[in-house]
Amino acid sequence: MESRQCSLIRSNFESLTDSPDRTHALSNSFYSILFARHPETREYFPASMGGQRDRIVHGLAHIVDGLDRPDSILPLVRQLGREHRKHGFDPSRFACLTEALALAVEQANGDDWTRDLAESWSTALDLVTTAMTDAARADQGPAAWVGTVVEHRLLTDDIAVVRLRLDRPMDYVPGQYVSVQVPGRPRMWRYLSPATPADSTGIVEFHVRRVSSGWVSPSIVRHTRVGETWVLGSPLGSLGDRDDSDRVGRARLMIASGTGIAPIRAQLMSMARRTDNTPVHVFYSGRFSYDLYDLTTLDALARVAPWLTVVPVVENAENPRWHTGPAGPQPAVYEGSVGRIVADHGRWTDHDVQICGSPSMVRTTVSHLRAAGVPLERIHHDPQP
Ligand SMILES: Cc1cc2nc3c(=O)[nH]c(=O)nc-3n(C[C@H](O)[C@H](O)[C@H](O)COP(=O)(O)OP(=O)(O)OC[C@H]3O[C@@H](n4cnc5c(N)ncnc54)[C@H](O)[C@@H]3O)c2cc1C
């Protein structure tokens, strides 16, 4: 795409989503158009669209952001094409999603819609449709995996470990994530990151935190039963990409908060099987000490892996009075915002950086690292919901 078209789309998209109301309006318009024109697509979405609506706009934001660097978005777009096969959706139907998006964008622009905007959006959305369709058609692997829960264990009031045995092994790269559908929440797919590397017997482990107002995570943490079956889509993301030439041979800085440690743990476990690792610094953070629920695993790894340094960080030195479970490490080494602590801790400008955590933690940490001189292209994180 021409860079002029990329800039036009970016500024247009920013204006269409410059407030929560406008963002909701764009998502609502997309789904209204999609369900009116293609009513059969309704069955792929949950009965209640509440938590679903804005996901399409957040996904589009990620694509718009990288339009002028297709290499940065096309791998994910292709993965999404493969991943959407889990719905049993024929790849030839992807075009109806982008058609509805194009009409929603046109409607949101109202009288400001120009021929230039129409052509630019059409070029961008065609690029996405073609990449998704081609990738889905070319994929010979399974459309989805069925996993039987073999273990469900509460680590804290809010965090559960769930282990599944898949109907066939999944060949994911440590650091990738998958979408998951659990029995009590049909069609409410949520992303989870395996906390262990791919396993030839099909065992996969997830760490799930309960989001108090959430639809799916409370159900997983509280109500998962051994023997129930989950459905998993194909792996997504490039956090642990081993083939990116710019990343090979660099020392690594990995920053996690809460269950964001899962994709980092999977990578560390995989690295522990090799002998050629570059130095790795892991900053593992939580609001309270008890949030660092997996620190013992990381410490055990660091004891046998001379390339690994683990730095625990908490925002508050004291656990809250209402917390009744295990206290976590005492005392934690650093106290404060993890982004600031990392930036103050050393010089990271040549490191390959990964950040895993909530959207606000990722945003703040990126801005601390940028201020400390770390180039943006060295900072990796998954798309934010
Ligand atoms: C790439 C990726 C990997 C992920 N890996 C994991 C993982 O390994 N383990 C895990 O537990 N979760 C993980 N998540 C988050 C997970 O996908 C869900 O978003 C989370 O479990 C909440 O789902 P829910 O249905 O309970 O909440 P929803 O019903 O989707 O949301 C309810 C409300 O909670 C807010 N909310 C959603 N998530 C959070 C959050 N993390 N913190 C605070 N507020 C939130 C929403 O904005 C909304 O207002 C990952 C997310 C992404 C994007």
Q: How is 350-378 classified by DSSP, letter by letter?
A: TSEEEEES-HHHHHHHHHHHHHTT--GGG
Interval between CA 211 and ligand 1 midpoint (Å):
7
Cα–Cα distance, 362 to 60 (Å, whole number): 19
Q: Which two tokens stand for residue 172?
A: 């994911």
358 CB under 6 A from ligand 1?
yes
Q: Ligand 1 centroid to 67 CA: how many Å?
A: 26
Atom of ligand 1 nearest to the CA of 193: 8
Give the pLDDT confidence score for residue 331 in this predicted structure: 60
Mutate to test the pocket of ligand 1, among 190, 193, 216, 239 (most ligand atoms within 8 A of CB): 190
- Give 179's strand partners: 191
Max Cα-Cα span within the chain: 64
Cα 269 to Cα 280: distance, rounded to the nearest angstrom: 12
Only one residue has tokens 């593992």, namely: 284
The span from the CA of 108 to the CA of 105, in Å, is: 5
pLDDT at 206: 98
Distance 62 CA to ligand 1 centre (A): 17
Least Cα distance to 67 among 136, 137, 138, 14 occurs for: 14
How is domain 252-380 classified at the CATH fold level? Rossmann fold (3.40.50)
The residue ranges of the chain whose pLDDT is under 70 are 51, 242-243, 324-332, 385
Report CA-CA distances (Å) from 363 to 45, 379, 381.
29, 11, 10
Q: Where along the chain do the CATH 3.40.50.80 domains lie?
A: 252-380
Superfamily of domain 145-232: Translation factors (2.40.30.10)
Number of H helices, E strands in the chain: 11, 12
What is residue 328's predicted lDDT score, i.e. its pLDDT?
67
- The residue contributing the CA closest to ligand 1 atom 17 is 191
Q: Is 173 in the pocket of ligand 1 (CB under 6 A)?
A: no
For 3-138, CATH number out of 1.10.490.10, 3.40.50.300, 1.10.287.70, 2.40.50.140 equals 1.10.490.10
**What pLDDT score was predicted for residue 385?**
65
Pocket test for ligand 1, best of 155, 191, 212, 239 (most atoms within 8 A of CB): 191
pLDDT reported for residue 374: 96
For the chain, what's the residue count?
385
- Indicate whether residue 264 lines ligand 1 (CB < 6 A): no
Say if ligand 1 is within 6 A of residue 209 CB. yes
pLDDT attached to residue 179: 95
What are 158's two structure tokens? 């809010």
CATH 1.10.490.10 domain locations along the chain: 3-138
pLDDT at 240: 82
Given ligand 1 and candidates 55, 189, 196, 217, which is best to mutate, with the most ligand atoms within 8 Å of its CB? 217
Q: Which atom of ligand 1 is nearest to the CA of 219?
A: 26
Range(s) within the chain of domains with CATH label 2.40.30.10: 145-232
Spatial CB neighbours of 86, under 8 Å, sequence gap ≥ 6? 143, 144, 179, 189, 231, 232, 233, 234
For ligand 1, is residue 211 a contact (CB within 6 Å)? yes
In the reported structure, the alpha carbon of residue 188 is separated from the centroid of ligand 1 by a whole-number distance in angstroms of 12
Cis peptide, bond prior to residue 306, ω within 30 of zero: no
